[in-house]
Structure 1
């Protein structure tokens, strides 16, 4: 029985009708997977490492034999799970890294057992190639950018979220990266890999293909471990800028609520450990004391006043365009003010 294969473009065209199964290890899946795919790994993370080591040290035959030993015990469970998923879908597709032995062997087994399964030709590498090519296409469009700026804690993310919910063309870069951008940016979040970020960015750009402009938050070239594509950085540098002014103490309260240091003490302490090399006495000692006393409000106040705000002021000098300033005391005011500015910038052109 010949194994049926499907191309990535054909898969994406019918994805809502699919049972899409990723048979790679949990770590591979976590780093990057096709949206909507379900992870049914043939190997655990340790098992994959074991088979890979055997392949390098003793050759492919020994690796295959060990792989068969590992997978054979899992086949009954895999059969039941895939059969149940296939019963709810019009088509079942299995993929691995490059359309190799893992997906081929399981798809063949399931098909022989009466559950027709297709293999994704080229594996997830074909999807990665598509994402990369499509991002290049989007980079050539040269749409204008609107950049929402402000000191740390100015509620920029909340403003962008509400604008997005109202239908504005927002690209939530921090949300896609799973990171807020600073050393403390991963506290309470799940940072994404570069590949996962670019996949999410591609999806969002597809959603906004008819938008006349993009709205983003002011970010550096790197958000956590994610590097922004050059066209995003270029668009931000040349875009219209809206600077949010939010009261200092309100910023402190917003940061306390968002980062929740009481519940994320270990992550806050680890981030502070990484930050210490950039700090000098006596400021460093004051921060250490506030953190040791769990006086998180004082800790944030000192960080903003003596570290983050001065760095941000220096960064603002690099932009060629003057920002439109918007003083607010609430997120609602911010949303209303940004909408008014957007209307002056783009409504005439759209009308």
Structure 2
């Protein structure tokens, strides 16, 4: 009787509990859209080869697709073997775990081959789909009663920068804009690498795991959508019931902050395209002023007009919807903001402990 080959497997729960070196053998575009943090990309197929195998599978069946897959893989085996061997022999090496989409042929073929060559390696059971399923379930079930402290203020008041500094000081910050790789305005994606919804949710899940023992979260007041990213309901609900710290910074400083953040000189086309998309919100006089100032390269004045005529009124309208307690702070610089916000947070947290 033919003995069935046993492929050593490991569950996603076990992988996340310990320290492993993950190897993602999916195509480059699959990896780019979404991967388990820390995973190394060693694709078996290019995007074009994966599409070719998929087409043959649909048109001619599984056996023909396997034949093409084996033919393509055989040419890459020496290079893959060398790379995986180096990973396994690294002085600081961790146990190796390989995954594809569903724990199918791609990862199975690598585990089988490497095991036959005496390289210890495991296959992730269920592939990255098991990881994605875990994230969806965890985020859907996340309805904590933790206190939320919400940092708010007009555009350009250094809110995200303050949160970044607070996170460095080990405050329980969920920096939504950083996780989404989007700054939350029509200019939000300029100069940033876009993230998929799946990648955002993966990063959010891991941050929540890091903060699972914290009695409260600190977030920025965000809308439901950041570019193409949709925020989960529990964050929006936390924002609505959270205690607010409102930051005030003068208009000139806010305009300067925006200019320093978006680097107009490096992204002129994207910046001016964004301004053109706002044109319908302004009078002909304001639009003409914007065009004149752009021609003069007076970007701070352009930004000041955008803040005063569009972003500030929009913010004021939205902020009227919230009725929770608000603490207003006047700041003059980033460090001043960090000092004052951290002091206020410490006061609030101390008061919670006495409730």
Q: TM-score, normalised by structure 2?
A: 0.92
Q: Pick from 28, 45, 48 the counterpart of residue 46 of structure 1.
A: 48
Q: Alpha-carbon deviations, 1:66-100, whole Å to 9, x = none?
A: 22232221111011001111113342111000101
1:128 corresponds to: 132
Deviates more, 1:228-237 or 1:261-270: 261-270
Q: Pick from 92, 95, 98 the counterpart of residue 94 of structure 1.
A: 98
Cα deviation for residue 279 of structure 1 reads: 4.7
Classify 1:299/1:95 alpha carbon distance in 2 versus 1 (closer, same or farther; 3 Å). same
2:287 corresponds to: 284
Answering whether residue 339 of structure 2 is matched by residue 339 of structure 1, we say no
2:328 corresponds to: 325
Structure 2 stretches lacking a partner, 5+ long: none
Structure 1: how far apart are the matches of 2:352 and 2:261? 37
Structure 1: how far apart are the matches of 2:251 and 2:337? 16
Deviates more, 1:61-70 or 1:236-245: 61-70
Deviates more, 1:18-27 or 1:46-55: 46-55
Please tell me whether the aligned partners of residues 279 and 287 of structure 2 are also in contact (alpha carbons under 8 angstroms).
yes
Q: How many residues align?
A: 348
1:72 corresponds to: 74
**Root-mean-square deviation over aligned CA pairs:** 1.8
Q: Alpha-carbon deviations, 1:201-251, whole Å to 9, x = none?
A: 111111111111111111101112111110100010111111100011011
Cα deviation for residue 269 of structure 1 reads: 3.2
For 1:249-288, list aligned pairs within 5 A: 249-276=252-279, 278-279=281-282, 281-288=284-291
Classify the secondary structure of the residue corresponding to 1:326: strand
Answering whether residue 149 of structure 2 is matched by residue 146 of structure 1, we say yes
Classify the secondary structure of the residue corresponding to 1:262: helix
Structure 2: how far apart are the matches of 1:202 and 1:289? 46
Cα deviation for residue 183 of structure 1 reads: 1.4
1:8 corresponds to: 12
Structure 1: how far apart are the matches of 2:273 and 2:65? 40
Classify 1:114/1:296 alpha carbon distance in 2 versus 1 (closer, same or farther; 3 Å). same
Q: Alpha-carbon deviations, 1:16-42, whole Å to 9, x = none?
A: xx2210001111111111111100001
Classify the secondary structure of the residue corresponding to 2:244: strand
Q: TM-score, normalised by structure 1?
A: 0.93
1:25 corresponds to: 27
Structure 2: how far apart are the matches of 1:70 and 1:273? 48
Structure 2: how far apart are the matches of 1:190 and 1:239? 30
Structure 1: how far apart are the matches of 2:228 and 2:94? 38
Please tell me whether the aligned partners of residues 191 and 224 of structure 1 are also in contact (alpha carbons under 8 angstroms).
no
Classify the secondary structure of the residue corresponding to 1:124: helix
Classify 1:107/1:217 alpha carbon distance in 2 versus 1 (closer, same or farther; 3 Å). same
Deviates more, 1:68-77 or 1:266-275: 266-275
Classify the secondary structure of the residue corresponding to 1:185: coil
Cα deviation for residue 322 of structure 1 reads: 4.6
Structure 2: how far apart are the matches of 1:305 and 1:258? 18
Please tell me whether the aligned partners of residues 26 and 44 of structure 2 are also in contact (alpha carbons under 8 angstroms).
yes
Structure 1: how far apart are the matches of 2:289 and 2:47? 43
1:316 corresponds to: 319
Classify 1:277/1:117 alpha carbon distance in 2 versus 1 (closer, same or farther; 3 Å). farther
Q: Alpha-carbon deviations, 1:290-337, whole Å to 9, x = none?
A: 335433222211211111111111111111225221111112221222
Classify the secondary structure of the residue corresponding to 2:149: strand
Structure 1: how far apart are the matches of 2:58 and 2:275? 41
Please tell me whether the aligned partners of residues 282 and 309 of structure 2 are also in contact (alpha carbons under 8 angstroms).
no
